[in-house]
Structure 1
């Protein structure tokens, strides 16, 4: 397993980050224990979760993923020092989470205390903002006319972000969190937080995690360049496009228990004709390379300059093993050329 520094922090994290959003719906506590144990045995020391998980979110299972991880930590207290644990505060819009309130210094304090209790730990290594308070171009809102920057009160947004930074600074000073990061944000968001941190004397964010895959490469090069130049770790999530790039949803297939058989909060916006056409071409490229489609997609993301660690998961241990193998694979120049041809033909398939 290879390791990288996490942005400007002193944390060395594995190039593979174990995503846990299936713990609590698609995976039982026993499944979670097996995945966590196996991941650490492979040298994976980077674990990502969120208070909102499992996915799809609902009031009945709210925060169960953190509880599963907390139960595992309680049974294995000696392993806490071996992992870098990340979690996230949910933003506005979910009524059963702090009545749908926006992220603020006050809600950060509430959310951190609750996460620490569920995770059964004294500190969180990296605490992340799950999404901005403003509308950002993520979750299919990257298309023209889906957002309008003129609708944002920039002064009000900056004031809210200043309050957030002050709340983060307080949490760091208390020792409850060691570092912090962003998620589903933009170059403007990154730079505004960097400026506010300098102004307020608060440590800057060390990472950002955004959706990034062969089907959704909009962050390359612009946002990833920002991360590389500003020493902010870039952490792709959903590198298989919610499993689509495995090929399992081709021809309208819906394998039993797969993610697309559950109602999604944002809908199946990735389920487009063009995305299926692109996926079929990537499956063909993988077949010629004699690797699985999932391994092709993950090996490609791992090669992208500026990517620090890729967040992956699996509903079965077998899937997780297959996916982790991708990070030891080298794609040939011919395979990379074929991938580039498909990307040029389908640059924004969903």
Structure 2
């Protein structure tokens, strides 16, 4: 396993981050225990969760994934220092989470305390803002005209960011969190947080996790260029496009218990003809070099300049083993060229 710096945190994290959002719905405690054990045995030291998980989010599943990780930590206290644990505060819009309100200084303080209790740990290594208070061009809102940025109150958003940073600073000073990061944000969001942290001597964002895959690479090049030059770790989530790039949903297939058989908060917006055509062509390339389609997609993501650690998820040990193995694969220049030819024909299929 290879490791990269987590921005300027001083922490090195594995190139593979174990995502956990299926734990509590598609996976139970025993499944999680097995996944954690396998990941640790293969050099993975990075686990990502969120207060909102399990997914799909519901009032009944809120906090369950953190509780599952906390159960493991309580039984494996001697291994706590082997793990970099990342969690996230939910943004606005979920009625059962702080009445759907914005993230604020006070919300951060309260949410951190609750996450610490569920995780059964004294400190969170990386605490992230799950999505910004403002509407951002993620979750199929990247198309021109879907968001009117001019309608936003710029100063109000900046004031809100400062308020959040003050809450994060309270938690850092109290020893409850070590480092802070973003999720589902933009170059403007990154730049404002970095500017505010420098101006007011507040915690600096060390990372950002956004959706990134062969089917959804809109962060290349501008956001990733900024991450490189500002020393902010870039952490792709959903590198398999919610399983689409594994090929398991081709020809309208819906494997029993798979994510696409569950209710989706934002709908199945990735389920387009263009996306399926792209997946078929990527699968042909994968099979020609004796890789699974998932391994091809993950190996591609791993080799993208600027990617620090890729967040993977699995509902079975077979999937987990296949996924982790992908990060020891080096794609040849010829294969990269074949992938690029497909990518240029399907640059943004959903």
Q: TM over 0.5, yes or no? A: yes
Aligned twin of 2:66: 66
C-alpha separation between the residues in 2 aligned to 1:200 and 1:126?
Answer: 21
Structure 2 CA distance for aligned equivalents of residues 297 and 46 of structure 1: 20
Structure 1 residue 144: Cα displacement:
1.1
Say if 1:166 and 1:200, in contact at 8 Å, map to a contact too.
no
Structure 1 equivalent of residue 19 of structure 2:
19
CA contact (8 A) 2:165 2:203 kept: no
Gaps of 5+ in 1: none
* Map of 1:219 onto structure 2: 219
Query: Normalized against structure 1, the TM-score is what?
Result: 0.99
Deviations 1:178-235 (A, max 9, x none): 0000000000000000000011101210000000000000001110000000000000
Q: Which runs of 4+ in 1 moved over 3 A?
A: none
2:41 maps to 1:49: no
The answer to whether 1:127 aligns with 2:127 is yes
The residue number in structure 1 matching 2:247 is 247
Between the aligned partners of 1:261 and 1:145, the Cα distance in structure 2 is 31
Structure 2 unaligned blocks of 5 or more? none
CA distance in 1, matches of 2:156, 2:288: 53
Task: Give the CA deviation at 1:117.
Answer: 0.1
Structure 1 residue 333, shift from structure 2 partner: 1.2
Distance 2:201 2:70 in 1: 32
What corresponds to 1:144 in structure 2? 144
Q: Distance in 2 between matches of 1:310 and 1:289?
A: 22
Which residue does 2:157 correspond to in 1? Answer: 157
Task: Provide the alpha-carbon RMSD of the alignment.
Answer: 0.5
Answer yes or no: is 1:279 the counterpart of 2:279: yes
Aligned residues: 350
The within-5 A match list for 1:321-336 is 321-336=321-336
Aligned-residue offset at 1:261: 0.1
1:55-204 paired onto structure 2 within 5 Å:
55-204=55-204
The residue aligned with 2:33 is: 33
Query: What is residue 296 of structure 2 aligned with on the other side?
Result: 296
Q: Distance in 2 between matches of 1:311 and 1:264?
A: 20
> What corresponds to 1:338 in structure 2?
338
Asked if 1 retains the 8 angstrom alpha-carbon contact of 2:245 and 2:297, the reply is yes
